[in-house]
A and B are shown apart, each in its own frame.
Chain A
Amino acid sequence: KAGVTQTPRYLIKTRGQQVTLSCSPISGHRSVSWYQQTPGQGLQFLFEYFSETQRNKGNFPGRFSGRQFSNSRSEMNVSTLELGDSALYLCASSLQLRDRSTDTQYFGPGTRLTVL
């Protein structure tokens, strides 16, 4: 089974621009979560999607948004980029078991975004 794939792997943007990152989950996984990783803040949860609906959202400004398509693929968008948005953006997929306490998340390799 193919793992979680993320595109692009690397991206350079300038302040004020917007960016869209893509994530393809493992086949059969219906839940997709996004995380931001920076040296200062570590790994922080952005949002989670299940069946095209946002189920949970972390503490990020409205410039960060996402969506999920009917095939479970997901995109996240960051508008009006700031220097502080430079980070590794990770996508994770899971089966979304009824007992979420045992649900395993499978991470992609991430997209490294640099904002100049």
Chain B
Amino acid sequence: DAKTTQPNSMESNEEEPVHLPCNHSTISGTDYIHWYRQLPSQGPEYVIHGLTSNVNNRMASLAIAEDRKSSTLILHRATLRDAAVYYCILRDGSQGNLIFGKGTKLSVKP
């Protein structure tokens, strides 16, 4: 299974942008990059996914490096509610389950 590497923790100030990095140097050409987050005392929730091009949705943006060996999840204006563990996950078409690493714990300071 292709693996991802994320920092254990990051801190941000409220209303400032946050860039959460993920390295996936062994990514294959058909792997999609997914991000999920888990708020305290809740199940994980889907954030965004992409293959090659940068992606935007109402929650976040995903910037994917040209060689696809790394990606960055961008929260444009962090709020206290964005404090969570963020997981970067690679998915190919052969598996239905998600393989979670340890993720990045994001703290947001008021």
Supplied contacts A108-B43, A110-B42, A110-B43, 18 more A-B pairs, CB within 8 Å: A4-B43, A35-B97, A35-B100, A44-B100, A45-B99, A55-B96, A56-B97, A58-B97, A90-B44, A101-B31, A101-B91, A102-B32, A102-B49, A104-B49, A105-B46, A106-B45, A107-B43, A109-B43
Most chain-A Cβ atoms within 10 A of its Cβ — which of B93, B96, B102? B96
Contact, CB under 8 Å: B44 / A103? no
**A to B CB contacts below 8 Å, 27 in the list:** A31-B96, A33-B97, A35-B100, A42-B103, A43-B100, A45-B99, A48-B96, A48-B97, A56-B95, A56-B96, A90-B44, A96-B96, A99-B93, A100-B91, A100-B94, A101-B31, A102-B32, A103-B91, A104-B46, A105-B44, A105-B98, A106-B46, A107-B43, A107-B45, A108-B43, A109-B43, A110-B43
B82-106: which residues lie under 8 A (CB-CB) from chain A? 87, 91-103
Chain B residues with CB below 8 A from A105, complex form = 44, 46, 98
Chain B residues with CB below 8 A from A94, complex form = 96
Judged by a CB distance under 8 angstroms, whether B8 is at the interface is no
C-alpha spacing A4/B44, complex, angstroms: 12
Judged by a CB distance under 8 angstroms, whether A92 is at the interface is yes
A84-116: which residues lie under 8 A (CB-CB) from chain B? 90, 92, 94, 96, 99-110
